[in-house]
Structure 1
Amino acid sequence: MEKIKKNDLTTSNQPLSSIEMGRDDVNLICTYGKISIWFGRKVPDLVIGKILIAISNVDPAAIHEYEIVCDFEKITEYESFGFILVSYAKVEGGYRATFHIPFTSKKALLHLTELICNELRVKDLNLDLYWTGDDSDIIRLFDVLRKIDKWKIKSISYKEESQLQSFEKDID
């Protein structure tokens, strides 16, 4: 397989549309405005933490929107985790509460990691994050995440092409 270096991401004159990267147990797709992550059940807790911290370091304005149905009293508990209450409404079984989990808060990230790990005990998990990342942020994020064992680029898509370029590479 062809090797890829950080400079290979910046040699194209075209802006990035998306980069898909990861390993066998985690897949991350970065685009402008959104990061979608698939966590497999076997992904180590340490890798989850490294990914969330890397995103936080590249774009502290990133957030995850978390929705739960719970007792009214639990809403305050989630707020004490650093989650920001966006809305709540009475529904059958309690209250539907929507929170933003800010990546500026290490406490909120710790609790998000815990929520992810608990969910992974039962099934794989898809997680969407919203960020303000651009080409340079996507490249910076890749540069940090490539240090995770077996992390690789799975595909790169460029904007304004009649044919999107996609390829699979191993990381040096």
Structure 2
Amino acid sequence: MGQKENRDNLISPDSSLSSFEMGRDDVNVVCTYGKISVWFGRQVPDVVVGQILLGISNIDNSAVHELELICDFDDIMEYESNGYVLVSYARSSSGYRTTFNIPFSSKKALFRLAGSITEDLKDKDTVLDCYWTGDDSDIMRLYEELSNIDGWGLKSINYKDDAKEKQNDSVIFDR
């Protein structure tokens, strides 16, 4: 169990965490105290998209993704029926400009979001920003949760320190 002990000691208890980066070649996850930013490369398998969304949900189901899009008025109810929460809407020249929150507490909403990400990946890499209230222990729990994904690893840890000290405290891991 030496590997478990190493993972528990990855974050320095004496420093304040700035960012924690993990992933694999086709996925990159950067965690900070207010945000999780996920880059999905075009080659990422659908199952990995789902594992990441469910992993975030398992650690902090109060996390949300904010989605802005233009759609027909009738489509608003369709999004809501799939678990999206309408925050605002306004008529525009090309339809209704809407803002939805996608709650990670709704498996139905996550399923729809995963399908949307998979569809986007057919054309281009995709970035998903999630807002959460995670702290150091939540970040480590998320790392543990996502470590079940094949090829998953730690990429870098950055601490909040003076600029001079930051260079010394930044740790980069190569796989």
Structures share a fold, TM > 0.5?
yes
Q: Which runs of 5+ in 1 are unaligned?
A: none
Paired residues for 1:142-153 under 5 Å = 142-153=143-154
Deviations 1:104-160 (A, max 9, x none): 000000000001001101110011100000000000000111111111111101123
What SS does structure 2 have at the residue aligned with 1:52? helix
> Which structure shows the higher helix fraction?
2
> Does structure 1 residue 101 correspond to structure 2 residue 102?
yes
TM-aligned CA deviation for residue 169 of structure 1: 4.2
TM-score, scaled to structure 2: 0.91
**In structure 1, which of residues 163, 166, 172 is the aligned counterpart of residue 171 of structure 2?**
166
Amino acid at match of 1:168: F
**Once superposed, which parts of structure 1, at least 4 consecutive aligned residues long, lie more than 6 Å away?**
none
What SS does structure 1 have at the residue aligned with 2:9? helix
Amino acid at match of 1:115: S
Count of residue pairs the alignment pairs up = 168
Residue in 2 that maps onto 1:49: 50
Amino acid at match of 1:41: R
> Does structure 1 residue 79 correspond to structure 2 residue 85?
no
Q: Which moved more, 1:14-23 or 1:42-51?
A: 14-23
Aligned-CA RMSD value: 1.5
Amino acid at match of 2:64: I
What SS does structure 2 have at the residue aligned with 1:9? coil
Amino acid at match of 1:27: N
TM-aligned CA deviation for residue 11 of structure 1: 4.5
CA distance, structure 1, for counterparts of residue 13 and residue 110 of structure 2: 34
Residue in 1 that maps onto 2:40: 39
What SS does structure 1 have at the residue aligned with 2:171? coil
Residue in 1 that maps onto 2:67: 66
Residue in 2 that maps onto 1:124: 125
Q: Aligned residues: percent identity?
A: 55
Deviations 1:52-106 (A, max 9, x none): 1010010011000011111000000000000000000111110011100000000
Amino acid at match of 1:49: G
CA distance, structure 2, for counterparts of residue 147 and residue 117 of structure 1: 21
TM-score, scaled to structure 1: 0.93
